[in-house]
Amino acid sequence: MLGILKTKWKRALCAAAALAIAMIFVAPLAAYAEEPAQVMLTIKQSFSDPSDLADATFTYRLKPVEGDWPMPEGSTVEGYTFTIKGNETVQIGPLDFSKQSICRYELFQVVNKEKYGYKYDKRMYTIEVWGHPNGDIKFVTYNDDGSKSYAIEFENSYMPLPTNPKLMVDPPVKKTVTGSPATPGTFTFRLEARDPSFPMPSGSVGGVKTITIKGSGEGEFGQWSYTEAGTYYYKVSEVNAGESGYSYDTAVYTITDTVRDDGGQLVLSRVVMNYANKQVASMTFINKYGGAFGIPGDIAGGLANQAGNGPKTGDDTNITLYIVLIAIGGAVAIGAGIYLAVARKREKDAKQS
């Protein structure tokens, strides 16, 4: 009888122990099942756009690698698709985990068609999530190369394609010299940017480039490209070297370059204006060598410089005309003086006789 009682007590103790063990392991699972743990994923986007004209909204997708794993509300068979604008940080989720498991996801940027000027971050992150019976959730993010990543970040940028220098209209500088110098003179012309930071042709220093033309002829400053939209201003003039016998053209031409962004490609529109605010296709400078009607070259140059305070030459007016008019006026005045002197002498001789 005592043996039977001992056996019953042993069985009761075993049953109690089994129940205690079940409570220890099964109860947390039941509680975990009732209150699923939630995970929120944080994604950061950085975007650089020097022109402030680009579309700053980009599309991303979270997709389970395999299996029917927890996904945010609004997911489809393709996964969960969302957008981020500019330099924003967003959170997606929640992902509800109610059972012990290891779930894997891929997170990547969706680029259906690349646009001109955009640089897309094409990294694919792999996210592993562990659900534990005690309700804890842990997850690890991996880069493309398998290394751990401590943040999910995408870096996009926009830089429109620069203007094509081959399409730039480079108006020539045309030099005309009147007169008959013994040897051709060398003339210098100056291209100057309103802002030294503006793009300039090769060989420029501090927003200035000079070229030389020997005698009458043509020259060009060269071409360049633009990397940002905007409006750029330049001026072209002749450098007065003060060479004896020459009068220098004081005309100043202005170049206005308007650069616009046309779907990721920068396009240039150029306008060249003379002193009279008239659009021209070339920049013409006319210099005079020597005098007219016996006026020495250096004096003629001085007279031309004085005349420069009046109408300018540019494309429409020839300073030679003013020099000739001055010379003719002088000749007429001298002739009139001689005529009057001869007439008075004849009158005096007639009275005496």
What was the pLDDT predicted at 347?
A: 63
What's the pTM?
0.60
What was the pLDDT predicted at 68?
A: 82
Q: Could you name the CATH architecture of 165-336?
A: Sandwich (2.60)
- Say which residue, 204 or 26, is predicted with more confidence: 204
Using one digit for the tens of pLDDT, what is the confidence trace for 38-87?
Answer: 889 999 999 998 667 788 999 999 999 987 888 999 999 999 999 999 99
What band does 32 get if pLDDT is binned at 50, 70 and 90? very low
What was the pLDDT predicted at 38?
A: 81
Using one digit for the tens of pLDDT, what is the confidence trace for 89-99?
Answer: 999 988 887 66
Do the domains 165-336 and 19-158 match in fold?
yes
Mean pLDDT of the 131-140 span = 75
Percent of the chain with pLDDT over 70: 69
- Say which residue, 239 or 37, is predicted with more confidence: 239
What was the pLDDT predicted at 72?
A: 93
* 21-35, 121-135, 163-177, 283-297: the lowest-pLDDT one: 21-35
What was the pLDDT predicted at 137?
A: 79
Of 26-30, 38-42, 56-60, 130-134, the range with the highest mean pLDDT is: 56-60
What band does 322 get if pLDDT is binned at 50, 70 and 90? low
19-158 folds as Immunoglobulin-like (2.60.40)
Q: At what angle do helices 319-352 and 297-307 cross, to 10 degrees?
A: 110
Q: Is a pLDDT exceeding 60 seen at residue 29?
A: no
3-state secondary structure string, 279-315? ECCCEEEEEEECCCCCCCHHHHHHHHHHHCCCCCCCC
**Residue ranges per domain, the chain?**
19-158, 165-336
Using one digit for the tens of pLDDT, what is the confidence trace for 180-220?
Answer: 998 999 999 999 999 999 999 999 999 999 999 999 999 99
Question: Whose structure tokens read 């534990």?
Answer: 132
The C-alpha atoms of residue 229 and residue 278 are separated, in whole angstroms, by 25
Run of H or E residues at 21? helix 2-34
**Are 232 and 193 a contacting pair, CB within 8 Å?**
yes
Mean pLDDT (the chain) is: 81
- Say which residue, 250 or 326, is predicted with more confidence: 250
- Under DSSP, the state recorded for 175 is E
Number of Cβ within 10 Å of residue 112's Cβ equals 5
Using one digit for the tens of pLDDT, what is the confidence trace for 240-294?
Answer: 998 889 999 999 999 999 999 998 899 999 999 999 999 999 999 999 998 543 3
What was the pLDDT predicted at 14?
A: 52
